Amino acid sequence: MGSLDPSTIVLITLAGSFLLFVTDALRYDAVAILVVLILAGTGVLSAEDAFSGFASPAVVLVAAMYAFAAAIGRTGVTEIIGQKILGGERPSEARLAFRVVLVSGLLSSVLSNAAVVATLIPVLGTVARRAKIPVSRLLIPLSFGSLLGGLLTVIGTSKNIAVNGVIEHKGGVPFALFDFTIYGFCLLLIGALFFLGPGRKLLPKPRQRETLTEHFHVPKFVTEVLVEPSSDLINRTVGETGLVERFGITLLGIIRSEREPTLLAPGPYNRIRQNDVLMLQGESEAILRFREELRLKERRSVNVGEALLVADDVQLVEAVVPAASSLVGRSLSEASFRDTTHLNVLAISKHGETHPSKISDTQLEVGDSLLLQGHARDIHRVAESRELIVLVEHDVPDFGRKAMTAIAILGGVLLCAALTAIPISVAALGGALALVLTRCIRPDHVRQGIDWSVLILIGGMLALGKAFDEHGLSRVVADWMRGIGGVMDSPTFVLGLLMLTTMLLTQVINHITAAVIMTPVAMEIALQLGMSDRAFLMAVIVGAEFAFMSPVAHQANAMVMGPGDYRYRDFLRVGTPLSILLLIIATLLLPVFWPV
């Protein structure tokens, strides 16, 4: 690359990162690190400039807000608010969808939208069952409302914070905490009204009622085998069989004589006896190899239903991989999931497609749904760990001292940022420390609650945005957009084009990347037109928030896909008209709030 000029290297790096984002060939934090290495290694940026993004106030602020989301989530504040507002009397489906959008939006204005969605998914599952409304009619409004909530405050989403970081680097004036709150609330209200009326008709109808085993196609992969007197398994513990490690097979239960109950979800120390019938789940080739090596006789294929897999203390539940889970990017075998949780994973659903085979080696992604079988205490422990969102009904926690303290500290940070000259990143970091010192949250829970991949992404994309701007590429794009707008002789048209471009980029790459790349372009257009940059910057912020048309455009969408039993086309059908409606209204409102 040494013979190439810097602008060409930046373009190649940008195109390559887009390709990696779209194909999902690498995790986006790995892409961000690769971008930084290329820019620094080729001399496009100095090492100091390339790595400065990782130490920027934007990264510190995002990390601090993750700490607040973790504290408020663990103290039950979000869950209590959701239950009180959404789970009262039995409202109509339309009114409930309207409330879901508003509640998720308002909560997401100060908390991570991924954390809000993760907390409210099980709440809405409970509310939907009580109101006899299919949960698929509520989860898309939940996700879209959380996205629109990011338009209420600067700290509403990490993308806003990243945009402020770019503005500060270019010597501009960053947005204050509540600069676009009224404008953002107008858009949130329009989104809520959309689901009160025409949007509700576009939501997917509930599919045929299925049990969890039917939904995850478990019966196709379950077989019973008999432990004969000659078998090598006799008197060995389940852990000694190597079922999962050697064969990739899950032992769902041990069926014994009529005098003894079936032993479901057996632990590693349960011993296998002569004439036991093992209920196995796995691929036919793996089960055949297991039978041949250990001299077992196939008894029959089982038409397994939920009644055969559950007991007084053994449950069958669905769980979703949230954004901040350590399972993201790892397989169950790599995470030693069975050993650490004592739970069986019967199937995995990805983007609406069920995978009951090769479960242990499947790499997990945000939004994947897992069908779990295990003892109630183990399921409760996994839910408490926040590694998975377990979709079961449970009691609402009490609003205790820790919850009140966490809210008070968050309020203090917001007041400090709004009324004093203290940088919001400093106030937020101080607030995060106060959460730990007042024991609202443990330090290890703070570390678990931070989505480190997002911090790495912001740092890497700030470097890419800096290179994009410093080598004149933002000026090239600005000239092109201004040229198109010049034909129409309308700054408002340019605003709409800028918002549309950012929105389309957001559907195929991370919303943070789209915003960071387009922010210097917005500032350059404003400079060329001799106008204030506020409206143009807001066009970027708003466009990057309209991630409605694809489940992979934002983590919030991915997380509701499994529980809502959605398909890609559901997001396209609901998200496209909402995006068009909001794009038109947001563009027309921009000059009202920030004259151009």
* 357-389 tens-digit pLDDT: 678 788 898 889 898 988 888 998 998 888 898
Residue 261 has pLDDT above 80, yes or no: no
* Sign of the torsion formed by the C-alpha atoms of 419, 423, 425 and 428: negative
Residue 259 has pLDDT above 90, yes or no: no
Amino acid at 403: A
Determine the angle formed by the axes of helices 77-86 and 57-74, rounding to 10 degrees: 60
Identify the residue with better confidence: 302 or 577.
577
Amino acid at 208: Q
Which pLDDT value is given to residue 357?
65
Phi, psi (degrees; rounded to nearest 5) at 86: -95, -25
Instruction: Confirm whether 338 is domain-assigned.
Output: yes
Residue located via tokens 């609003």: 399
Instruction: Confirm whether 96 is domain-assigned.
Output: no
How far is 284 from 292, CA to CA, in rounded Å? 12
Which pLDDT value is given to residue 209?
63
Which pLDDT value is given to residue 590?
95
Q: What is the pLDDT of residues 24-59, one digit of tens each?
A: 778 888 999 999 999 999 999 999 999 988 888 889
Tokens representing 45? 């940026």
Which pLDDT value is given to residue 1?
47
Start-to-end CA span in the chain (Å): 42
Residue 582 has pLDDT above 60, yes or no: yes
DSSP 188-227: HHHHHHHHHTHHHHHSPPPPPP--HHHHTTGGGGEEEEE-
Least confident stretch, 293-302, 355-364, 476-485, 490-499: 293-302
| Pair 166, 462: CB distance under 8 Å | yes
CATH number of the structural domain spanning residue 349: 3.30.70.1450
* Sign of the torsion formed by the C-alpha atoms of 290, 293, 296 and 297: positive
Question: Percent of the chain having pLDDT more than 90?
Answer: 33
Instruction: Confirm whether 324 is domain-assigned.
Output: yes
Tokens representing 236? 């060995």
Identify the residue with better confidence: 396 or 128.
128
Identify the residue with better confidence: 297 or 539.
539
In this prediction the pTM is 0.86
Beta strand segments in 246-343, E: 250-255, 263-264, 277-281, 297-301, 314-320
Instruction: Confirm whether 498 is domain-assigned.
Output: no
List of residues 6+ apart from 301 with CB closer than 8 A: 222, 223, 224
Tokens representing 336? 């030693």
Identify the residue with better confidence: 394 or 145.
145
Instruction: Confirm whether 219 is domain-assigned.
Output: yes
Q: What is the pLDDT of residues 304-327, one digit of tens each?
A: 555 567 777 788 889 999 988 889
Instruction: Confirm whether 514 is domain-assigned.
Output: no
How far is 454 from 461, CA to CA, in rounded Å? 10
Sheet of 250-255: strand order equals: 263-264, 250-255, 277-281, 222-226, 297-301
Q: What is the pLDDT of residues 465-481, one digit of tens each?
A: 889 888 888 888 888 88
Domain that holds residue 363: 211-396
Question: Percent of the chain having pLDDT more than 70?
Answer: 93
Q: To the nearest 10°, the Cα dihedral for 103, 107, 109, 113? A: -100
Q: What is the pLDDT of residues 217-244, one digit of tens each?
A: 776 667 788 888 888 888 888 888 877 7
Mean pLDDT of the 84-92 span: 73
Instruction: Confirm whether 104 is domain-assigned.
Output: no
List of residues 6+ apart from 419 with CB closer than 8 A: none
Which of 168, 79, 149 is CA-nearest to residue 423?
Answer: 168
Q: What is the pLDDT of residues 413-444, one digit of tens each?
A: 999 988 888 889 999 999 999 999 999 999 99
Mean pLDDT of the 451-471 span: 88
282, burial (CB in 10 Å: exposed 0-12, middle 13-18, buried 19+): buried
Mean pLDDT of the 278-299 span: 77
| CA distances from residue 303 to 224, 300, 349, 383 in whole angstroms, order as listed | 10, 9, 20, 29
Tally of structural domains, the chain: 1
Determine the angle formed by the axes of helices 568-593 and 181-196, rounding to 10 degrees: 140
Mean pLDDT of the 75-86 span: 81
Q: What is the pLDDT of residues 170-213, one digit of tens each?
A: 888 999 999 999 999 999 999 999 998 889 899 988 766 667 77
Instruction: Confirm whether 159 is domain-assigned.
Output: no
Beta strand segments in 53-194, E: none
